[in-house]
Amino acid sequence: MRESTVRVGLIYPELLGTYGDRGNALVLAQRCRWRDLAAEVVEVPAGAPIPDSLDVYLFGGGEDDPQNMAAAGMRDSRAAIVRAWEGGAVVFAVCAGFQLIGHSYVAADGTRLDGIGLVDAVTDPGPDRLIGEVLVQPDAPLPTLTGFENHGGRTTLGPGVRPLGTVLAGGGNGDGSGGDGALGERLVATYLHGPVLPRNPALADHLLQWVVGDLRPLDSTWEERLRAERIAAGSKTGLAKWWQQRMLNRG
């Protein structure tokens, strides 16, 4: 059994917490405790340096101005984040957080701002916002993921970077590749909100396994009921969009 406490870092929650992504931290900590593993959520407020002592780094979603402020702080703490990640920590980034761990993104005023470059990815503005339920079939050994997206950016992955999975319904990265997010060594990025980990307990456990190793199974009946409900909703949305596009193409 792991002797030390699992430290789940919630980075800049007042800036990167627009869509309830705090729930991702709570889920990771609780799924540890249900297994008798000590865990704590460590909040790193905006303006504070990000420490290199966390086991999991959670970067959530945010609106334009908060995202820009978060970007500056993350750049200042880049060395600590990289040191932790290369030392075995896990990085999980959602929406704005995903854009911020890439090389760059374009702000609302058209300025291209630097990210911290953990992932070979760039984000450019799209012609419209991608909003609605999303289904993703992961490339990792995980079941279908469900989430909700709301973003205007289009993220392009560099050569050799794997997406988290293939989009079955919704927009995902929105760059025409048909993928969502990015998947690397102890790193997952995605456009899925919800928050995504309460919706997808297998993904939460996938992240925790990188930290603590093999996990004993939990009864996730209620979580799986929620996942099934959201998959059904996402499937209907995807079918409706497919039918609408078919009718438009027929003229």
pLDDT computed for residue 19 by the predictor: 86
- Overall fold of domain 6-250: Rossmann fold (3.40.50)
Tens of pLDDT, residue by residue over 59-79, are 999 999 999 999 999 999 999
Side chain identity at residue 135, one-letter code: L
Angle between helices 64-76 and 78-86 (to 10 degrees): 70
Mean pLDDT, to the nearest integer, of 85-109?
A: 96
Q: Where are the domains of the chain?
A: 6-250
Is residue 134 a contact partner of residue 150, using CB atoms and an 8 Å limit? no
Mean pLDDT, to the nearest integer, of 8-16?
A: 97
Active-site residue list: 95, 193
Angle between helices 201-212 and 221-250 (to 10 degrees): 120
Is residue 116 a contact partner of residue 74, using CB atoms and an 8 Å limit? yes
Is residue 169 a contact partner of residue 135, using CB atoms and an 8 Å limit? yes
Mean pLDDT, the chain, rounded, equals: 92
Mean pLDDT, to the nearest integer, of 157-171?
A: 96
CA separation (Å) from 155 to 117, 139, 171, 180, 223?
13, 18, 11, 9, 29
3-state secondary structure of 251: coil
Is this model's pTM higher than 0.85 or not?
Answer: yes
pLDDT at 164 over 90: yes
